[in-house]
Structure 1
Amino acid sequence: MEPPVERVRLSQTAKDQLTKLKRQTRIDRWNVLCRWALCRSLAEPSPPSPVKISTDSNVEMTWRVFAGDDGDAYAIALKQRCHQDNLPTDLETQAQQFLLHLHRGIGYLAGDTRLKQIEDLGTSLKTQS
């Protein structure tokens, strides 16, 4: 399946939030935290707000690095979410929604006061709704 983006780029705010999460969870890889963030946002029933996101940080990774061996699963989940939110499923829309979900998820994880260590990531996903 074709990925929604070739390169994943983050805003400076998201980078700062991920830096905090790296300290708390001791997960030292941006891509792993970003995967958790995407899943956290996709689990939220409401669609993300259509805000402009400036990808102005120096954090950048390929889709392959972001998704690892599960790239198709992430792409399918995102496409399904676009369909669920009554959005087109073309690649441009998927790319926009990916960026919105990723950044919203990073914000949710960074703002979760219960998230103190790696074990709390699972709890964050389970109790969010």
Structure 2
Amino acid sequence: MESPIKQIRLSQTGKEQLIKLKRYTKIEQWNILCRWGFCRSLAETSIPSPVPIKSDSNVEMTWRVFGGEMADILLIALKQRCYNDGLGTDKDTLVHQFRLHLHRGIGYLAGDQNIKKIEHLIDLTNQEL
């Protein structure tokens, strides 16, 4: 499936939050932590605040690297979420909402005082948010 999202560049804040998560979880790959963050945000019932997000870090990856084997599933989940939120599924909306969800989710994970190791990420899948 062709994604409207080609390149992903994180904000400096997002990068710093991921560095913290890498230290705690020992997950070294940016893309894996980004997937966790994106899914964490999708699990939240509210729509992300439409805040401007700078692309000012040196952390960059393609959509395929971000999504890996789950790239098509993640794109479908994003489209469904945008549809459910009444935002539409045009290219610009998908790109914008993806960035908002990605950064919100990374922020949620980095701000969660209970995440001190990889098992704590897994525990999140068993909780109601």
3-state secondary structure, aligned to 2:53: coil
Q: How much is the aligned-residue C-alpha RMSD, in angstroms? A: 1.0
1:36-47 map, 5 Å = 36-47=36-47
Q: Tell me the alpha carbon deviations over residues 13-41 of structure 1, each in whole angstroms, 9 at most, x when there is no partner.
A: 00000000000000000000000000000
Does residue 111 of structure 2 align to residue 111 of structure 1? Answer: yes
Q: 2:75 aligns to what?
A: 75
Q: 2:31 aligns to what?
A: 31
Q: Tell me the alpha carbon deviations over residues 17-70 of structure 1, each in whole angstroms, 9 at most, x when there is no partner.
A: 000000000000000000000000000000100010001000000111100111
Are 1:112 and 1:124, in contact at CA under 8 Å, matched by a contact in 2?
A: no
Aligned residues: 129
Q: 2:6 aligns to what?
A: 6
In structure 2, what is the Cα distance between the partners aligned to 1:101 and 1:82?
A: 11
Give 1:125 shift: 3.9
The residue type equivalent to 2:92 in the other structure is: E
Are 1:114 and 1:124, in contact at CA under 8 Å, matched by a contact in 2?
A: no
- Larger mean Cα displacement after TM superposition, 102-111 or 4-13: 4-13
1:83-94 map, 5 Å = 83-94=83-94
Percentage of pairs with the same residue = 61
3-state secondary structure, aligned to 2:82: helix
In structure 1, what is the Cα distance between the partners aligned to 2:125 and 2:33?
A: 13
Query: Which runs of 5 or more residues in structure 2 are unaligned?
Result: none
Q: 2:61 aligns to what?
A: 61
In structure 2, what is the Cα distance between the partners aligned to 1:66 and 1:103?
A: 13
CA 46–11 in structure 1, closer or farther in 2 if over 3 Å, else same: same
The residue type equivalent to 2:110 in the other structure is: A
The residue type equivalent to 1:26 in the other structure is: K
In structure 1, what is the Cα distance between the partners aligned to 2:125 and 2:55?
A: 25
Does residue 95 of structure 2 align to residue 127 of structure 1? Answer: no
TM-score, reference length from structure 2: 0.97
CA 120–70 in structure 1, closer or farther in 2 if over 3 Å, else same: same
Q: 2:19 aligns to what?
A: 19
Query: Which runs of 5 or more residues in structure 1 are unaligned?
Result: none
The residue type equivalent to 1:122 in the other structure is: I
3-state secondary structure, aligned to 1:119: helix
